[in-house]
Each structure stands twice: as C-alpha cells, then as structure tokens.
A and B are shown apart, each in its own frame.
Chain A
Amino acid sequence: MWRYAVQKLVLAVPTVLAVVAFVFVAIRLVPGDPAVIMAGDFADAATLDRLRREWGLDRPLPVQFGVFVSNLVRGDLGDSIRSRQPVVRELASRLGVTFTLALGSIAVTLLIGLVAGIASAVRPYTVVDYASTVVSLLGVSMPIFWSGLILIIVFALRLDWFPTGGIGTWRHYVLPCLSLGVFSAGVVARQTRSAMLESLATDFVRTARSKGLPPHRVVLKHAFKASLIPIITITGLQFGRMLAGAILTETVFSLPGLGSYLVTAIAQRDYPVIQGIVMVMALSFTLVNLVTDLLYPLVNPQVSQ
C-alpha cells in the first residue's frame, strides 16, 4: 500500500513539471506584454526596457525556463511581477482560503448529494425521486454568479444572517460553500442514485433483506457501501475542481483565494504567479487522485493493487 502511494507520488513529479512547462511556454506565446501592462499609461521605451530586463523577459525562452527550474529546485517560485513579493508567500496566504472553501463546499455537496441520491434510489420514480432530480438539475444549472448573488441578497442583505463577503469568521464561508456546494451536489446526487439503484438490485442486498435486516441497515450499511467506488470517484473529481480555485465563487464573495488570484494574474500576465498557481493546482489534483486511489481498496477489498 505504501509502496503504491510512494510510486504514485514519484510519478506525479514529471507530470506536474510537464504541466508547468506547457503553461510556461503557452503563457509567453499569448499576446500581451507584462511590461506594458505594468507600466500602463506611463509606458515609455526606457521604462519598458528596464522592466523587461528586471524580470529577465528579454532573455531567450529556454534560458528563462532554465532559471525557473533551478529556482524551483531550491523551493523558490520567483517573485510576482506585479507586487515584487515572493510567489510562495503570495500563494501561502491564499491557499488556506481556497482549501477551506473546498472543504466546506464538499461537505455541503456530500450532505445534499448523498441524501438526495439515496432518497431517490430507495424511492425511485416517486415524488421524492422527481423532486430531488429537479433540485439537482437546478443546482447544476444555476450559474454561480447568479445563485451567489441571490444568496447574498437574501441571507446577507435582507436577513442579515451572514456577511456579504470577505473572510474573517466561519460565518464568511457559509454562503460561498452553499453556493459552490450546491453546484456539485447535483452531480453527486445523480451518481449516487444510479450507483445505489444498481446495488439495491444485487443478490447480496436481496439476501440481506431476506435475512430480516432492518431496511435502513440494508440501505446504508450494505447497498451504500457497495456503491462507494463511483461516489468516491466523482467526489474526488469535484473536490479537485474546487481546489483548483472556484474562481466565480471567490470573485462574487470577495474571497482572497487562488482562483481569483489566478484570474488577476492572467490579466496582468504575471508569469511567475501563473506558473506557481498552476503548479499548485496540478499538485492538488494529483494528490486528490492519489487519495481516492488509496481509498478504493479500503472500501472494497475486491479492488486489488
């Protein structure tokens, strides 16, 4: 098991590097000169040349990449072009916010999604099922910049239960996690429903029922456990997506996380920041995949390495 985990981690390194290398080249090929953007209205030739030299942007691409990798090995992601602060420091403060948002959102997703999915599966083609299908569809269809604003208007402005944005207390995360969580809940609900329907139709469940086990034990202990693999897969994917920065949610609720920071960095062509965030995202995705891979044998011993 540990060997498997270590193997996967080791394999992650070239994967992440490849992603970063791709972005490194791609972002520099896109039109848009960070020196011009930084200098803004005051860009004269001298200022622009000075800025480009400062950031090593006048050197050939392979040289720039070489510098980047050699810094990376020492744990240095370079300095942000815009703020001239170390990228590592800029990312550290924002990573916590994104992580908290993702955790809270996945909790909401699981709470709503699992309940709706299980309810649908044990009462298929009834009102309960149709209602939860509609709610799932609504959740997935509502754009976050709309649903988020509605939540702000109702719960923050009218009812004054929560702040309209920013961070500071646990209250600040409730509305954003609701908004983002509901979005993914629909996906999880559908997946749970179909996986559960399959499990509920299997022989061993019929056996469990005929043994006289109480229904909720049949559903939760046996059928649900058997459905866990696809549910874990889809949850892992959703969580990875959330970690990658829920850009719209962070923007609407003014959360200083990785997503909104990435959008600003791209608009500013802040290459070191873009590279740093992409690396963090690639790493997170890899780690989440690793965790879900490790969970499979735990929930279903039939899955062997």
Chain B
Amino acid sequence: MTQSLSARRLPLPHKLVLALLLAVGAMLSTATAQSRDRLVIALPIDITIPDLHKASGLPAFGAVAQIADPLVRDPDGEIIPCLAESWDYTDGGRNLIFKIREGVKAHDGTVITAEDVAWSINRFREISIGRSSLAVVTDVTALDDYHVQVSTEEPFAPLLATFSYTLIGVYSKDAYDAAGSDEAFSLHPVGPGPYQFVEWVPGQRLVLEAFEDYWAGAPKVKTVEFRVILDEAARVAALEAGEVDVIHAFAPIEAERLSSNPDVTVINPPSAGFIRLNMNTSRPPFDDPRVRQAMAYAIDREAIDEAIFLGTAPVSHSLVPAGTFAYTDEFDVYQYDPEKAKELLAEAGVPDLTFELAYGAGRYLLDSEVVAIVQAQLAEIGVTANIRAMEWAQFSEYIRQPPEESQTQMNLTWWRSVNGDPDSAIGVFTAAEMPPAGNNPTYYVSEEFERLYAAQQTEPDPDARRELLRDLQRVLMEDLPAVPMYQQPQLWAARSDVVGMEDVITPLSTLRPLYTVSIE
C-alpha cells in the first residue's frame, strides 16, 4: 500500500543538490599551466628510492641518474667522455685506466676526485641489481687523485662501453660520509650530476633543481619534476591537459591521436629492446632445429608490426638488438613462407604440431595481441599453439626451472643490451646462463657458440671482433633457439615547447643527463 504525501516537494535535500551543482558550475579552476621553468616528466612506475645504486625498475633509472654522473656516454653508439676525460689500457688490455676530469664540483661544493669515482663503482658492484654487468671486474682502485684503474683477469672488450650504463653513476663520497648512514644518503643523494635533489615523495614525485656549477654547463631548465602516473590513459590525459610535459609508454594508437594535436610532439627514438619467441631446445618438439625454423617461416612478422604496432615496431632480424655494434640482418632468411614451414614440419615428422605458448600477460606493450596473432598464423598451417597467460611473477619463475624440470615449450620475453655493445645481449645464450643460475629461457647449448663467444669477449681489435660477432649471429640465426620478433616500440610524447628530448632518450628508455633540454 502506498501513500503519497502532499504535492509539495521535499525542499531540503533537493536544494542541497541544486546548490552543489551550481557551486561546481560556478567554479572555474585556473588552467593548470606549468610555469615554464619547470619540466614535468611522467613516470609509468614508482621510484622506490632516489639512490641510483639501489634503483630497480628500468623507467625510474633515468630520473634518479640525474643526480649522479656517468664516466662516459654513448649518444650514437660512439663512446664519448663525460666524467672521464680520457682512458687508456695497460697490461695487454687487462687494466682500463680512466683519467678523471679535473675541477668537477658536486652539489655539496666538494670536488670529485678518483676516490669518489672508485668508491662509487665499488658501491655499484656491491649493491646494485645491475652489478653482474661488471662481473668480470676484479678490482677498482684510485691510482692517484685523477686516475682510476679498473682491472679484469682477461681483457674484456665490452668493458668501456659498459661504463655508459645508466646505473653506474658517480656520487660524492664526502657527502656519503657526512650523511651519517647509508640510508640517510639514499634518501638524499649528492653527486656531480646536472640536477640536485630537492624532494622525494614516495609514490608521487621526485623533484630536482638545476645545479648551476655542473661541469658541462648550467642546465637550461631550472626545475625538473618526475611525477608518478601509473595508468597509461591518465598519463596521456595529463599530457594533453598540459599538466605534464613529457610522457612515454603508451600504445601506438594513442600516438596517432597525439600526432594530430598541435600542442604535442610524438617522438619515436630507436630502441635497444626487442621481443623474442623463445623455444625450449632441450626437449621436444623444439629440440629439432627444423621445427624451430618452421616457426620463423610460419609467422608473418611484418604483418604484426603493421597491424598491432602501426609500423612503430620494426622487425628484428637478429638475436642481437638493432643499432648495437656489429649488428647484421644478413642471416635472417626467414621470410614469411607458410609452405616452407609446412615442408619443414613434415620433414621433422610433426605436421600437426601442438605446444604451449606462455607469456607474462601485460608485461610488454600489446603482448596479448601479439600472442593471439601468432596463434592464428600458426593455426593456418595446422599448428596448434595453446596460449598460457601467466602473471609476471609466476611466469618469471616458470622460465627459470632447471632443464630436467622445465615445462616451458615456447614463451615470449623481451631482451636488450645494456649499452651499445652486443655482448650483454648475446651472452644470454651461453652455457653459463642456463637456468636456474642464469637467464636463458631457450636452454640452448652449442660448442661453436661458446668458442666464438669467448673469443669475441677478449678480442681487442674491433674489426676482428666484428667478424666474430658476425659469426655468432650466423650461428644463432641458423640454430634459431629463439625467433627475433620485433623491436620494442619506444614511444614518447612531449609538449611542443619542449626542445631537445630526442637527444636525451636512450635506446633503453632511460634518460641521459638532462642539462641540454630546454623549454621555449
């Protein structure tokens, strides 16, 4: 039974709602324009701690690296001096001696000497997650005020290039001692970099201020803020609203839309990362090289680049990243050829091949889409790829099982070189990298490969080394433990008045010293 009250409306709640709407409507927030001496860069992940030697999470490296400074840089694959003015080798290449630039000041006013450099490198070797990049180094010492010696047991050709790695930054040892504790220093690091620490709010932002006495010249932008925006769509919205000036890690389809926005410029720098389809060579069906090669013939990699990435992910033609020293595409004979694939499978005796394709869903840009297309393309030649999407943590454990226990057949991962040198990329296929100790999800073993790899590591002559690396790529593309798929697209976008971003973005999506970036 219902009863209706009088026709008069309830005034109070309705009035409140109306008042609220009017208030909202009357409110005009000022446009959140950034003052133009402040550059705001959005980060897709959180900075766990502002200390470079303790950093984890690749996108955060470039941010915390601004406070430190590297010994050398490699803007175009060429090693150029930075904190190290020059270098030399002694003892048959077993010692690399850096001459440190004189008069370099740190943010606390002290002068950077060889002692700071040696201490910083050793701190990196002790606590950084990237320490294995200097695993061959046996000793780092300051010979005098401006010379640092890095020693290895055998000459290691990629050693110099390794020092351009973002994580190996130099801090001020005096500041460290003055801080009182390791933790105190980590929360407020001091170094010779172009920007000095101002503020860090976990989960939100890292704010840095220009260091006027930076040795290469005062930075052009006074303040840089790294702002954490985890959600991709929110990042793009923030850029369009003018709340942030630079973003990266967004889908190619957003790039299309942003390109038509006059206030925004899309940047597509070369990428050192690429995606591989790894195949477990230690058990059937991928213990047969013909089956592995059939996969490469059956997958139309060009189509994947076009359809999913709108052309921003060029096909990889080698298991060494494009743009690194000695990269060559000559051995990628695997043009899209489904007939050839079927032939090879028939030869190998597995025409109705069925296997599992595993991946850590969501880890890499559009990985689910890629895996779906691969499955469809393989289905066209009668091969059944059962997709297994796993959470990243679970997946990374899954592909690190010892060979006898490993269940994986085919899986998808990213790979890279940490500098312009292919050694760190190609080393993953050596026996030393066999899981669970190492990172090789293909369980590949080859005597010829081991021999060539060891030789290139100690070869001092660049041309001879280039030949060895070429041979290595030949072996890999013939044995094909993994199919090189495409270069991981590197998509950045900046407000149109920001100048110079293309020069500071590294192929690994980290950032070089930002002192050359300016806002018009």
A residues apposed to B, CB below 8 Å? 30-34, 36-45, 47, 80, 82-85, 90, 93-94, 111, 114-115, 118-119, 122-125, 149, 152-153, 156-157, 160-167, 171, 200-201, 209, 215-216, 218-220, 251-254, 256, 260-261, 264, 267-269
Q: Is the pair B234, A165 in contact by a Cβ cutoff of 8 Å?
A: yes
CB<8 Å pairs between A and B, sample of 23:
A30-B393, A31-B393, A41-B416, A44-B132, A44-B438, A45-B438, A82-B48, A83-B48, A94-B203, A115-B17, A149-B234, A149-B237, A157-B237, A163-B29, A163-B243, A166-B229, A200-B3, A201-B1, A215-B5, A219-B5, A252-B234, A254-B238, A256-B228
* Residue B130 at the chain A interface, CB threshold 8 Å: yes
Q: What is the 8 Å Cβ interface bit string for chain B, positions 478-515, against chain A (1 contact, 0 not)?
A: 00000000000000000000000000000000000000
Q: Is the pair A40, B416 in contact by a Cβ cutoff of 8 Å?
A: no
Q: Is the pair A216, B10 in contact by a Cβ cutoff of 8 Å?
A: yes
* Residue B101 at the chain A interface, CB threshold 8 Å: no
Assembly CA distance A162 to B243 (angstroms) = 11
Q: Is the pair A124, B240 in contact by a Cβ cutoff of 8 Å?
A: no
Cβ distance B155 to chain A, nearest Cβ, rounded Å: 22
Q: Could you say which of A31, A153, A171 has the most chain B C-beta atoms within 10 Å of its C-beta?
A: A31
Q: Is the pair A44, B394 in contact by a Cβ cutoff of 8 Å?
A: no
A165 nearest CB neighbor, chain B only: B234
A38 nearest CB neighbor, chain B only: B56
Q: Is the pair B234, A253 in contact by a Cβ cutoff of 8 Å?
A: yes
> Which stretch, B191-199, B274-282, B395-403, touches the partner chain A?
B395-403
Provide the residues of chain B in CB contact with A125, threshold 8 Å.
Answer: 2
Q: Is the pair B228, A42 in contact by a Cβ cutoff of 8 Å?
A: no
* Residue B54 at the chain A interface, CB threshold 8 Å: yes
* Residue B436 at the chain A interface, CB threshold 8 Å: yes
Provide the residues of chain B in CB contact with A252, threshold 8 Å.
Answer: 231, 233-234
Provide the residues of chain B in CB contact with A37, threshold 8 Å.
Answer: 392-393, 396
Assembly CA distance A171 to B337 (angstroms) = 58
Cβ distance A257 to chain B, nearest Cβ, rounded Å: 8
Q: Is the pair A41, B439 in contact by a Cβ cutoff of 8 Å?
A: yes
Q: Is the pair A42, B234 in contact by a Cβ cutoff of 8 Å?
A: no
CB-CB under 8 A for A32 and B10, given A125-B2, A267-B391, A267-B392: no
Provide the residues of chain A in CB contact with B138, threshold 8 Å.
Answer: none
CB-CB under 8 A for A161 and B32, given A47-B132, A216-B11, A219-B10: no
Count A/B pairs, Cβ under 8 Å: 172
* Residue B202 at the chain A interface, CB threshold 8 Å: yes
Assembly CA distance A31 to B58 (angstroms) = 23
* Residue B31 at the chain A interface, CB threshold 8 Å: yes
Cβ distance B501 to chain A, nearest Cβ, rounded Å: 21
Q: Is the pair A38, B129 in contact by a Cβ cutoff of 8 Å?
A: yes
Assembly CA distance A153 to B237 (angstroms) = 7
Contact among B10, B24, B201, B436 for A118, CB-based, below 8 A: B10
Cβ distance B130 to chain A, nearest Cβ, rounded Å: 5
Assembly CA distance A192 to B234 (angstroms) = 35
Assembly CA distance A164 to B169 (angstroms) = 34
Q: Is the pair A251, B230 in contact by a Cβ cutoff of 8 Å?
A: yes
Contact among A42, A93, A111 for B129, CB-based, below 8 A: A42
* Residue B133 at the chain A interface, CB threshold 8 Å: yes
18 more contacts with CB within 8 A, not counting A44-B437, A152-B233, are: A32-B396, A40-B58, A40-B129, A47-B129, A80-B48, A93-B202, A114-B13, A115-B14, A118-B13, A125-B2, A162-B29, A163-B32, A165-B243, A166-B227, A167-B204, A201-B1, A216-B12, A260-B230
Provide the residues of chain B in CB contact with A45, threshold 8 Å.
Answer: 436-438
* Residue B46 at the chain A interface, CB threshold 8 Å: yes
* Residue B178 at the chain A interface, CB threshold 8 Å: no
